[in-house]
Structure formats: C-alpha cells, structure tokens
Amino acid sequence: MDCPVCGVKVKVPDDSLPGELFECKDCGANLEFIQDEKGRPGLKVADEVAEDWGQ
Amino acid sequence: MRIGLAYDMARFEEKALIQAARGLGHEVQPIYVKNAEFSVTNPVNPGLDFVIQRCVSHYRAYGSTIALERAGCRVVNNLQVLRDCADKLITTSKLSAAGIPVPQTMVAFSRERALEVARRIGFPLVVKPIQGSWGRMVARAVDEQTFQDIIELRENMPNPQLKIHYIQEHIDKPGRDIRIFYVWGEVPVAIYRVSRQWKTNTALGGRAVPCPITDELREITIKTGMAMGDGVLGVDILETGDGGLLVNEVNAVIEFKNTVLSTGYDLPTKIVEETVRVFRK
C-alpha cells in the first residue's frame, strides 16, 4: 500500500488488523492500517500519543 | 471458548494474545473499539465467553468495558479493577488498607498544604498525577524550591486532576525496579527494568532483564493481586536499601512485549489458559 505521507509502497501483511502500526521505511512516518466502511484497506498517519494512553 | 479482544491498537501484545488463544483452539473475535458502537439502553450480548480488554487509551478501555459488561460480557480486567488500577490514589489506598507495603504517601489539595506535607516527608520526594502512565508528569523534587516549582506548574495546568497533589517519599532504587505479573492467583514471570534514569519505565528506555521470583516477591504480588480484585495485572515493585519491597503501582491493561522477548516466557498463552480456567468454573 502507498504511504499517505511520501507515496512509497509500504509492505502490509494480509492478516493485518485495523489499528495495526507500521513504519514507512522511507520517510519514517508512523502509519496505522485502516479499513473503510466497505472494508477496503488503507494506511493513515497514526494517532499521536494521548494523555490517557498507557497501562 | 469464544473470546473477544477489545483493542484500539494492534501491537505485539494484542497479536500475541490472539495467536495464543487460537493456538489453544479458541475462537477469537477482535473488537476494534475505535470503529465500534454499543447500545447502553438496549444492549445486545455478543455471545462471547469473555473479552480481554486491550485498549491503550484508558478512556476507550473504560467506556468499552462499561458497555461490554452492560451487554452481559465478562471482561478481563473488569470495570472495578480497571478503574482502581488507573487511579494511583485509589490503588495506594487499597493496598495500604490491605497491609501491603507501599511508599509513604500523602495527598493535599492546595499548594500551601502540599508544601507543609513535603517538609514533613522530607526531600527528595516524588509528585505524581493520580492518573497517567509511562512516567508522564511524574516529577522528583530534590529540595523545597524544586517542589514549589512543580506544584506551581501543576496548579496552573487546566486539568483539575493535577491540583490533587499525590506526594510520595522518594525510594532510592538500586538502578532498577521490578515488573512482576499476576495472573489469576499465579505469579508466572518477572523482569527488572534497569535504567540510569530514576524513572525506569521501558517506555522511557528502561531495559528489561529477567528477575528471579523469590518467595517474598511471590507473596507480595499475590496479596496485591487479591487486594485489587483479581485478574491479570502488572505489578511494579521497588526494592528498598534494607532489602524490603514496596508496591509502587498496579497496571490493568498490561504491556509485556519486553518481558516475553527478554525472558522467553509465553505470557500470552498463560493469560488465556488461566482466564479460560477461571471462567470455566
């Protein structure tokens, strides 16, 4: 799939789950695997760490 | 069994738990909470034997646990445990009331009273937000001036929680602390989190090293797990200079990637096995 930041192809395994994180090896962007309402896969820039994240 | 896994990020831990459950022959239904909706007034039971709560966001974990329990699901950990572990003031209070050793802890609600408390505890000491993880906003005051600066910053933050001044004695750790895991009454594995920094969270660069589980560690961990309401917990323990152990905090949505990688112990399988055993009773 294409990195939404730099357009380079990012390898995403077939068994990836929505919410799974990947890093674009080219631009270093943290990316999140998503599926739209029709189930079509894609990548978006991952959310920044929020104040309530953690254990 | 049919096992749900409520999550918002699919990290090492979530994938490992799914793989472990499927490897044990269970059916797994991942529940991607960011895309989920639940009826509170007309709940629909999803027909799962239990759900493992894995949301990284505490409020997504909180909200989805409430909704799932409303729908009749058993959630691990349950709402009471999740809520109590997320609040350091509640955690320390429960543990202290159960006779479990914890750092000396005071709470104050104004800068003036906080300063009086600090002078009595003595410096250095530690000021923490009552909610938060990964070492965020945890500050060490080495003297009265530093303490006043910390309190001044907290008092001027918009979050009202930061005006609850949770103040603890500083424990001089031996360059490490202990993360030990409690799984339904068992204590299967532990690591040291080693760091030159005083905050040893692995999120802040602490290095995981296997930790042998002594009888004392096992006993304090079991007592802690029972005091917090049982379940699957990560317990953070400090070693004092005289060989004592103090429970620093308890975590209810545990991270264990570094533990698995450094010890080779299959904690995700243990978690699923024990949870199935408990819920089959």
Per-residue pLDDT tens over the stretch B205-242 = 779 999 999 999 999 999 999 999 999 999 999 999 89
Give tens-digit pLDDT for B134-147: 888 899 999 999 99
Spatial neighbors of B37 by CB under 8 A, at least 6 apart, are: none
C-alpha A53/C-alpha B58 separation (Å) is: 6
How large is the ipTM? 0.90
How many Å is the maximal CA-CA distance in chain B?
59
C-alpha B160/C-alpha B189 separation (Å) is: 37
Distances from the Cα of B42 to the Cα of B8, B39, B67, B72, angstroms: 24, 5, 11, 12
CB pairs under 8 A between A and B: 55
Beta strands of chain B (E only): which ranges? 2-7, 27-32, 50-53, 75-76, 105-108, 125-128, 139-141, 165-169, 176-183, 190-194, 207-210, 232-239, 245-251
Distance from CA of B261 to the nearest CA of A (A): 18
SS3 state of residue B159: coil
Q: Considering only CB atoms, which chain A residues are within 8 Å of B7?
A: 17, 19
pLDDT score for B83? 97
| Res. B52: pLDDT tops 80 | yes
Q: Considering only CB atoms, which chain A residues are within 8 Å of B15?
A: 17, 20
Cβ <8 Å between A19 and B7: yes
Phi-psi region of B99 (alpha: psi -120 to 50; beta: other; left: phi over 0): left
Give tens-digit pLDDT for A9-55: 999 999 999 999 999 999 999 999 999 888 899 999 999 888 889 88
Residue range B115-130: mean pLDDT, rounded: 96
| Res. B197: pLDDT tops 80 | no
- Which residue from B minimizes the CA distance to A17? B10
- Which residue from B minimizes the CA distance to A37? B35
Cβ <8 Å between A19 and B8: yes
Residue range B184-194: mean pLDDT, rounded: 97
From first CA to last CA, the distance across chain A in angstroms is 31
Spatial neighbors of B161 by CB under 8 A, at least 6 apart, are: B129, B130, B131
| Res. B114: pLDDT tops 90 | yes
Strand order in B139-141's β-sheet? Answer: B105-108, B165-169, B125-128, B139-141
Q: Which of B17, B22, B55, B58 to mutate to test the interface with A (most CBs of A within 10 A)?
A: B58
